[in-house]
Amino acid sequence: MAELEIKDLTVEVEGKEILKGLDLSVAKGETHALMGPNGSGKSTLAYAIMGHPAYTITGGQVLLKGMDVGALAPEERARAGLFLAMQYPTEIPGVSLTNFLRTAVNAVSDEDVPVRQFMTRLREDMKALEMDEKFLQRSVNEGFSGGEKKRFEILQMALLKPEIAVLDETDSGLDVDALRIVSAGVNRMRGPDIGVLIITHYTRILNYITPDQVHVMVDGRVVESGGPELAEQLEAKGYEHLRAGV
């Protein structure tokens, strides 16, 4: 059974249908890339999977380990093992990063992780992402550069240990060094216990994180699936020829 299975999903935003019957499956231990031009509905899929209140599922299903999560609150989806690294992480002034992370880790672990143990893990994960400890004094995402925000998303993924992680345009706005660090962070987490869905416009990140499968999305549907070579074709030809085929 696939860990994440999306069946004939239709999603509306402000009354406009963006996803028009999307099918996609990601099994544990696999990394998939979902590619597509701007406006094809990639981020809509990411938000709909996580339960953003502005995205309404009007048909189809999002199944996590066989369970339909469509009616669950975002926090319940997170506790069921879903994680979304956001394209535009929200700034939350006044909420310290440490407090936020500890609250989140305790929430998904269903127990209070001892402070010392938590801090040890946090420091290790931050070190791996080349994040300075000074970060811990700051408020969540407040005044972070684009690269810092993306690193912080991956740090959260490392701490929360999801079973399915969706990375929405994690490569956007990153310079080469930051992309290398973030990709290394994701690669460290890959393994038999996690399925990863990388949503991206460009193939750049796929040079660092090699996917098992690549899917191409156009106008709210997956129109083509294949191996890593599909990404290379897209790199060479662009999305135009696919659009013509729709």
Partner 1 sequence: MVMTFRDLTEDDVLRVSAGFDEPEWLRDRRLEAFKAFSDLEWPRGEEEEWRYTNPKRLGLEREVLTGAAQTPALASGIVGTLSDSYGMVRIVDAGVVTATVCAEAQEQAVVVTDLASAARDHADLVRKHLGTAVGTETKFDALNLAAFTNGAFVYVPANVELPEPIAITVQAATDGATAPRVLVVLGENVRAKIYVDHTGDAAATVVEVVEIVVGAGARADVVTAQDWGDNVDHIGAHTGLVGSNGDYRHLEISLGGKTVYLRPDVRLDNPGGNGELLGVYFCDEGQHVEHRSLIHHNASHTTSNLIYKGALQGDSRATFYGTIRIEEHAKATASDETNRNLILTDRARADSIPVLEILNSDVVRCGHHSSVGQVDELQMFYLESRGIPREEAARLLVFGFFAEVTDRIDLPGITEIVLSEVEREIRSGPTALMNQRRS
Residues that bind partner 1 (CB under 8 A): 50-54, 73-75, 77-79, 84, 86, 89-90, 92-95, 99-100, 103-104, 107-108, 139-140, 156, 160
Cβ closer to partner 1: 51 or 195?
Answer: 51
Angle 146-160/97-109 helices, nearest 10 degrees?
Answer: 30
Task: Find the shortest distance in angstroms from Cβ 21 to partner 1.
Answer: 23
**99's torsion region: left (phi>0), alpha (psi -120 to 50) or beta?**
alpha
User: What token pair was written down for 186?
Assistant: 């994701």
User: What token pair was written down for 229?
Assistant: 């070579």
Cβ closer to partner 1: 103 or 210?
Answer: 103
Cβ closer to partner 1: 8 or 91?
Answer: 91
Task: Find the shortest distance in angstroms from Cβ 153 to partner 1.
Answer: 10
Task: Find the shortest distance in angstroms from Cβ 241 to partner 1.
Answer: 36
Task: Find the shortest distance in angstroms from Cβ 3 to partner 1.
Answer: 17
Kindly state the helix (H) or strand (E) to which residue 238 belongs, with its residue range. Answer: none
Q: Could you tell me the sign of the dihedral formed by the alpha carbons of 31, 210, 223, 172, in that order?
A: positive
| Max Cα distance, the chain (Å) | 57
Cβ closer to partner 1: 78 or 174?
Answer: 78
Cα 182 to Cα 59: distance, rounded to the nearest angstrom: 35
* Angle at the Cα of 210 from the Cα atoms of 204 and 212, rounded to 5 degrees: 130
C-beta of residue 84 within 8 angstroms of C-beta of residue 166: yes
Cβ closer to partner 1: 160 or 218?
Answer: 160
Cβ closer to partner 1: 140 or 209?
Answer: 140
